[in-house]
Structures are given as C-alpha cells and as structure tokens.
A and B are shown apart, each in its own frame.
Chain A
Amino acid sequence: MSTTDIAPAGAERVSRREPSAVLRMSETEAAEIGGDPDDPGDDELVLLNMGPSHPSTHGVLRLMLELSGETVLRSKPVIGYLHTGMEKTGEQLTYLQGGTNVTRMDYASPLFNELAFSLATERLLGIEVPERATWIRMLMCELNRVSSHLLFMATNGMDLGAVSMMIYGWREREEVLRFFEKVTGLRMNHNYIRPGGVAADLPADWRSDVLELIELIEPRLDEYDTLLTGQPIWRERLQGVGIISAAEAVALGATGPILRGAGMAWDLRRDEPYLFYDQVDFDVIVGTHGDCYDRYAIRLNEIRESLRIVSQIIDAMPSGDYRTQDKKVTPPPRARIDESMEALIHHFKIFTEGFKVPAGEAYAAVESPRGELGVYLVSDGTSVPYRVHVRAPSFVNLQTLPHLMQDGLIADGVAIISSVDPIMGEVDR
C-alpha cells in the first residue's frame, strides 16, 4: 500500500523523500496529515511527537519524528519552549547587570557565559585584566567544564539505562558545585566573572580545596572507565550510532565535542588562545568515527585534561589583584567610601547608572563544554548594551540532530540526543 492512498491532505509531503534528514513541516501541515489510528493499514509512516517533556530530551526539547516502524526517517527539533527573550532583556540591563542575565542561558556551565560576555565588554572598553583575575577565570572555567561534563556523564548514563552512572555523576558534580558555592556564594548562576575581573578573590584555602577535588575526581574517572567504557552493553548502544563526518559537522556549524568527535581537532583554547591557555599544557581530544561513543569518550577524557589544566593553574596562580584597578569599571574600596564624598558618588554611579562603554561592536568567543560560545555586543556609548547576541553552541549543534538520527531507531535517538548534550536554556534563550 503506498502512502499516498492513506491520508488525502498533505501525505505526498511525507512520502516524498527529500534529500534531507530534516523534516521541514509546520504544525499546521503536520496536523492536516492526520490518518486513522484504528485503520490497520494506516501504519506505514507515522508522525510522532517526542517531547517536550520526555525524560530523555534534556529539558523541553520536542522532536517531530517521521517514523517507518521503529526507524526514524526525517525529524525536526521544535524549540522555543524556554524562550524568555534574554537577548531583549540584555538590552535593558547595564554591563554590570548583564552577567546575571547571560549566566542563566547555559545553566550547566554558567561561568562560560559570564566569561564570553565579560571578554566582549572588555574588548569594547579596551581594558586589561590583572593576571591573577585571568588565572582565576581559567581555574573556575575548567572546574566548570568538569562539572558540566560530569552532568553529561550522569544524564548520558541515565538515558542509556546505566542508572548508577547517573548517581555517580551527580555526586561528583555536587563536590565541584560545593567549591563554586564557597567561592562565588552560589552553586549555579554565579555572576562571578564580571567585566574587569572577578567578583571576589579566592578563599584563603582554595588550594587545598581544589587539590581535594582533583584527588577525589581523578580515581572516580577510572571507575567510570571500568563501569562503562569497556563494557559490551555500553559499547553496543553507542558505537556506530549517530555517525557524522567532519565535513558534515563543519557544514552544519557544529562545534565542540560533536566536531572533535568527527575527527576535527578544533578547540578554541588551543587554536585561538584566550586567557592564558597558551601557557598551560593540555591535549585536544579527538575522535575518529564521529559516533555517540566518540562523543562520550571525548567528554570523559576532557575531564582529565581539565583537571590537568587545573593542577597547572594551582602552581601558576600569581598574587595580585582579582579585578582591574581601572576606576571606570571598578568601584572604590569600602574604606574610601567612608572618607571621601567623591568615592561615595562614584560607587553610587557605578551601581545605579553603570559605566559607559565606548561605541562599537565586538565578538568574543570561548570554548564552552558544548562548543563555541560567542557573544556579539553592540554598544552605542551608553552604559546599557545596544544589542547582546549570544551564539549558543547548543542552538547550532541541534541542527545536527536530524542528520544523526536519520535511518536509526528511536531507541538510538535517545542515545543521540544525549550525546549532543543540548542545554535548552541556551538553545531558547
């Protein structure tokens, strides 16, 4: 029975196989296709909604799947369920407040959002950040990469039925977040990295805390290896599933572990060094097959590399200021406010009006755990950005999803969504 016999309206759109994996169909068109659920002959092609609140879609991601039996033909990620207009909100907040806005985008790696925003602002301001502040930023970001990848390990395990991994991943991540709470006051959404430096200096005993973290996590990574990496069921579920070639990944704008998993050694930390990444030793982990297994292995080993960087930072951390002494962006110290009226006014101005940023535009990109996170800022010379655009890696990476899922099973789709590791807060913004 050919598909055109089944549903009169719009069915030819479904049966006409475009040379694409993307199901380009609107809600209205999808609703028109219909079909009779009680007709036993009416089961050749099915349009199925997966999500938005499916447990394995990582937040509110919805997929429209065109299925033949259990095989996914074309698919379309439907997003926007978490859209709250954060880029518009960014146009109302001063540069100092902006950090609180962007940090809520990729909530699994908030410090990277703050970093990209601060770097773009500093590029417009033309200010230099003290060395210690830069090293602190690197330390915090690498630990954030660890916590973000641990979150991936946990959810990836959960999606594939390795429930112990879920508990282990969350457990280790919590230890990293505990350190974040000690430093920034918050487990997430820190607003710690700010234009001009960081919000506060590290606590006095940070070295022993970080060493403890490294000592705790490193052996646990070997446990994960034992638990998952060599395990036949795990390999069976991931190897050869959701394959993408390097050329495809580049064409689709994919970055981060997806691009590296396909064999493309591209990491902004090495290829366009920012902060002091050119002064530390680390390897860029690259896959060969571009499948879910490679993406898993890359993230697991990136935790090791991040810990390697962190232990170098412990030795390299200089003393000095944790934020710039540029009066333009940094308020006067508390003691000065008691002595000087001008200092009080200055302090008041910075926190009410904000500091003015020279007109112009700047783009700053960092390597977040999910890929290139960029912030494009346009300033009109006032203390509020004229336009804040965030190039969110998850948003662009989601484009690879239909290509990864095509001709696979729905069950593999779960593994694939997990391996893309989208954070919907950042996708929808």
Chain B
Amino acid sequence: MTERYGAPVGGDRPSRGQAVIHPSPSQWLDVAAAARADGFDQLIDLTAVDYLTYGADRSLPEGVHPERFEVVAGLISHERRERLRMRVQVPADDPTLPSLFDLWPGSESLEREVYDMFGIAFEGHPDLSRILMPEDWAGYPLRKDYDTGRIPVQFKAASNVR
C-alpha cells in the first residue's frame, strides 16, 4: 500500500488525474500539516459528502473504513502547479474533526459551511456558527436524511383550493 504524508493513497479508481489521499480523522491535522510544509500553500476547497444512501461501491483503499460522512479538502501547490485531495471518513456518531484554520485561515468559511450543511463540528475553529442558514435553524440541509420541502402552488383560478 502506498502512502503519502503517512496517509494511504487512493486506490484503483484514480480521481481523474488528481492525487487523492485518505487520512484517518486522528491523522487529519498531521497529514494536513505535512502537506502544508511540503508546499501545498493554499486550501482551495473544503466540502463534505453524506454517503448515507450511496448505492455504489465506495472503492476506498485497503485499511480505510467507510463512514457515513466524508470531508473532502482540495489543496494547491502554486510552485509545483500540483493539486492534492484529502478525503477523510467521519463517523455519524461522532461527527467532529480538527479544524484546519491554523494551517490555512481560508478554511474558516468553508468549515462553517460544512458545519451548517452537514453538522460536522470542527474543533479549534474560531467561530463555528451557521453561515448560510439562519442562526436558529434546526437540522442540516445537505444530509441525505433531510427532506426537501415542498410549497404547494395555488393557482387563483383553481377550483380545488384547500
């Protein structure tokens, strides 16, 4: 099994030209720090995926245990013109992850968005609060068990107005 910064490298399903590594939650910060020290100077993207109802094969590398949530971070090394994607499995019963704020302050809004949409808490984040939804909102909209609402459309001329 190949490793990079101590984390297993993505397996037989290459992510269309981009290198992928799969650190564990406990490795998350160390692997990120190693990547940062290795020249990945910008955190370009951070998001999450809720794999609750995923029907296909996850095809994670050997030794990586699939969990409900996955946080995906994209890094750029400007000097080498290289990208790296970090994917970490976050269990549903303990959706927490250390914040990358100290390494890349640019993670602030992105982590707030993931917290807002998925309810994944980032420890050490300076201001972990909802960003897109109202402050008093209940629930995490991008989770797969969060239903999309429907507002009934009423037409003026309709005879069956309830």
Residues of A whose CB lies within 8 Å of any CB of B are 20, 22, 24, 26-28, 79-80, 83, 85, 87-89, 92, 123-124, 250-255, 264, 266, 271-272, 359-363, 365, 372, 374, 376, 378-382, 386-387, 389, 391, 395-396, 398-399, 428-429
Contact = CB atoms under 8 A, between A and B. Distances in A.
A133 B131 CA distance: 38
A87 B45 contact: no
A22 B54 contact: no
Given A79-B132, A253-B42, A389-B45, 12 more contacts: A85-B148, A123-B17, A253-B110, A264-B78, A361-B15, A363-B85, A376-B47, A382-B55, A386-B49, A389-B72, A428-B132, A429-B132
B95 interface: no
A429 B109 CA distance: 14
Nearest to B55: A380
B141 to A, nearest CB: 6
B16 A123 contact: yes
B109 A396 contact: yes
B22 to A, nearest CB: 12
B57 A26 contact: no
A27 B137 CA distance: 13
A360 B15 contact: yes
B47 A359 contact: no
Nearest to A265: B78
A391 B45 contact: yes
B131 A80 contact: yes
A396 B108 CA distance: 9
Nearest to B20: A361
A255 B41 CA distance: 13
A378 B41 CA distance: 26
Contacts of B43: 253
Contacts of B106: 251-254, 396, 399
Interface residues of B, number: 44
B81 interface: yes
16 contacts: A80-B131, A80-B133, A89-B148, A123-B16, A250-B78, A251-B105, A253-B42, A253-B43, A272-B83, A363-B16, A363-B74, A376-B74, A380-B54, A395-B109, A399-B108, A429-B132
A380 B56 contact: yes
Contact of A381 (B13, B55, B117): B55
Interface of B: 13, 15-18, 41-45, 47, 49-50, 54-57, 72, 74, 78, 81, 83, 85, 104-110, 113, 117, 126-127, 129-135, 141-142, 148
Given A272-B81, A361-B15, A362-B15, A88 B148 contact: yes
Nearest to B41: A250
Given A27-B135, A374-B44, A85 B127 contact: no
B54 A83 contact: no
Contacts of A124: 16
B148 A92 contact: yes
A253 B44 contact: yes
B45 A374 contact: yes
Given A27-B135, A251-B104, A374-B74, A381 B44 contact: no
A89 B150 CA distance: 12
Nearest to B134: A80
Contacts of A27: 135
Contacts of A378: 49
A16 to B, nearest CB: 14
Contacts of A85: 141, 148
Given A83-B132, A362-B16, A381-B56, A398 B109 contact: yes
Given A252-B105, A380-B56, A360 B13 contact: yes
A123 B16 CA distance: 6
